C-alpha cells in the first residue's frame, strides 16, 4: 500500500472526524485526491466504518456491563471455526469475536444492561450452541484503555513552559 494511504488510515483511525481539507494539507495532497483515496479505501474494505469511542461510564443515565467470554468449541471439518464464529457474532449483543491461540478458541466481548442479561445470553444462547464445549465469563469492572485511547486521562494538560528557546 502506498505510504500516503497508510498515513491517511492512521490519521482517520485516530480521529475519524478529521476534516478532509486538513488531511490534504498534512499529507500534501489536494482535497479531491484525499476524497478519492478515502472512497477507494472504503471500496476495498480497508475502511469499514466510522465510529465514536464513548466512555459510557461518564454518561450518567447509562447502565451497562461488558463481559469477556472465553469459549471452547469443537471445530467442524471443512469450515473450522468460521461457522461457529459467524453464529456467535450475529447476535447484536456480541461486540467482538476473536479466534485465539492457547487454552480456549474464541474470545468474545458481550455488552448488556445488567449482569443478569449477560448471564441469560450465556446460558440460553451461547452455551446451547451445538459445538460449544464450555464458556468462562469475566465481567469487566473498569475500562482503562480502549483502542489505543486512555479513558479518564484527566491530566493531559500541557506541562511545558509557555515560551522557551
Partner 1 sequence: MMERGFLAKSVEQLKPSGIRRFFDLASKMENVISLGVGEPDFVTPWNVIEASYHSLEQGYTAYTANAGLLELRQQISKYLNVNYKMDYNPENQVIVTVGASQAIDITLRAILNPGEEVIVVEPCFVSYAPAVTLAGGVPVTVSAEADNEFKIRPEQIQEVITDKTKAIILCSPNNPTGTVLLKEDLEEIAAVIKENNLLLLSDEIYAELSYDDNFVSPASLEGMSERTIVISGFSKAFAMTGWRLGYACGPEDIIAAMTKIHQYTIMCAPTMAQHGALEALQNGEDSVREMKTSYRQRRNFVVKALNDMGLSCHLPGGAFYVFPSIQATGLSSEQFAESLLQEEKVAVVPGNVFGESGEGYIRCSYATSLKQLDESMKRISRFVHKFS
Binding site for partner 1 (CB under 8 A): 7, 10-11, 18, 22, 25-28, 158, 160-165
Give the nearest distance from C-beta 13 to partner 1 in angstroms: 13
Residue placing its CB nearer to partner 1 in the complex, 124 or 156: 156
Give the nearest distance from C-beta 157 to partner 1 in angstroms: 11
From CA 115, how far away is CA 40, in angstroms rounded? 42
Give the nearest distance from C-beta 158 to partner 1 in angstroms: 7
**3-14 vs 31-43: helix crossing angle, rounded to 10:** 80
Give the nearest distance from C-beta 162 to partner 1 in angstroms: 4
Residue placing its CB nearer to partner 1 in the complex, 27 or 65: 27
Residue 83 neighbours by CB distance under 10 Å: 14
From CA 141, how far away is CA 134, in angstroms rounded? 23
Residue placing its CB nearer to partner 1 in the complex, 28 or 124: 28
Q: How far is CA 138 from CA 13, 18, 47, 107, 141, in A?
A: 28, 36, 31, 11, 9
Residue placing its CB nearer to partner 1 in the complex, 21 or 82: 21
Cell numbers found for residue 100: 485465539
Amino acid at each position: 500500500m502506498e505510504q500516503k494511504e497508510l498515513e491517511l488510515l492512521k490519521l482517520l483511525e485516530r480521529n475519524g472526524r478529521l476534516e478532509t481539507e486538513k488531511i490534504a494539507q498534512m499529507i500534501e495532497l489536494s482535497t479531491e485526491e484525499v476524497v478519492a483515496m478515502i472512497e477507494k479505501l472504503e471500496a476495498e474494505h480497508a475502511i469499514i466504518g466510522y465510529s465514536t469511542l464513548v466512555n459510557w461510564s461518564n454518561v450518567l443515565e447509562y447502565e451497562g456491563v461488558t463481559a469477556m467470554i472465553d469459549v471452547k468449541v469443537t471445530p467442524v471439518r471443512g469450515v473450522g471455526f468460521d461457522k461457529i464464529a459467524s453464529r456467535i457474532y450475529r447476535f447484536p449483543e456480541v461486540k467482538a469475536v476473536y479466534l485465539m491461540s492457547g487454552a480456549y478458541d474464541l474470545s468474545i466481548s458481550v455488552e448488556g444492561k445488567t449482569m443478569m442479561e449477560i448471564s441469560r445470553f450465556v446460558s440460553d444462547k451461547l452455551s446451547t450452541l451445538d459445538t460449544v464445549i464450555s464458556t468462562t465469563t469475566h465481567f469487566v469492572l473498569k475500562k482503562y484503555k480502549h483502542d489505543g485511547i486512555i479513558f479518564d486521562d484527566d491530566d493531559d494538560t500541557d506541562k511545558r513552559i509557555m515560551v522557551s528557546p
